Amino acid sequence: MRTDPFGARLAKALAARGPLCAGIDPHPGLLDAWDLSRNVHGMENFVLKAVDVLAPEVAVVKPQSAFFEAYGASGIAVLERVIDHARSAGALVLLDVKRGDIGSTMAAYAAAYLGGTSTLDADAITVSPYLGFGSLAPALEAGGKGLFVLARTSNPEAAQLQNALLDNGKTVAQSIVDSVAERNAGAGPLGDVGVVVGATVAPGELDLGALGGPILAPGFGAQGAGVAELHRLFGRELRGVLPASSRGLLRHGPDPAALRDEVRRVAASLAG
| Residues tagged active-site | 98
**Do the Cβ atoms of 154 and 125 come closer than 8 Å?**
no
Distances (CA, A) of 232 to 73, 138, 198, 268: 43, 35, 13, 18
Angle between helices 73-88 and 40-54 (to 10 degrees): 10
**Do the Cβ atoms of 108 and 96 come closer than 8 Å?**
no
Distances (CA, A) of 260 to 137, 198, 245: 39, 25, 14
270 vs 272: CA distance, rounded Å: 6
**Do the Cβ atoms of 139 and 125 come closer than 8 Å?**
yes
